[in-house]
Amino acid sequence: MSLDDRLRTPPRERLAGLVQHVNLGEAAATLRAEPHAAVSGHRQLALVRHGPLSLILFAFDADGSLKEHRTEGEVTIHVLRGRLAVTVDDDEFTLGGGELLSLAPGQPHAVRALEASDMLLSICRDPGEQ
């Protein structure tokens, strides 16, 4: 992909500063306004990548989803707006705005938007596994 094809500044450049200030509502609105089609009904933007910590903002369309996956590291799924169904093993958690779910490292999970929703995902990896 050439730099002319990119929708955003590459993360290495965008996240290079020592301080990151983000308005989550504005960032989500910007994601929703991007001209490309959403992949699996969502768009995502890395907000922070510093050492073991990553913060990623997701803007889901209704019925948008993330198929089952796992991440090595502690995970929190924080719903900023809307409602999400998070499946962990045989349990389904319905989360609304202001709610979060914490997952142990390696825990398989899937996410489905019950309505248009914004989610802040945090991943904190073991510093020795970066």
pLDDT in tens, the chain (130 residues): 444 455 677 777 878 888 888 999 999 999 999 988 888 999 999 999 888 999 999 999 999 999 999 998 999 999 999 999 999 999 999 999 999 999 999 999 999 999 999 999 999 998 765 5
Q: Is the dihedral of CA 10, 11, 12, 14 positive or negative?
A: positive
> Which pLDDT score, from 0 to 100, does residue 18 have?
83
Q: Please say whether the beta carbons of 31 and 13 come within 8 A.
A: no
The fold of the 42-129 domain, in CATH, is Jelly Rolls (2.60.120)
> Which pLDDT score, from 0 to 100, does residue 17 have?
80
> Which pLDDT score, from 0 to 100, does residue 128 have?
67
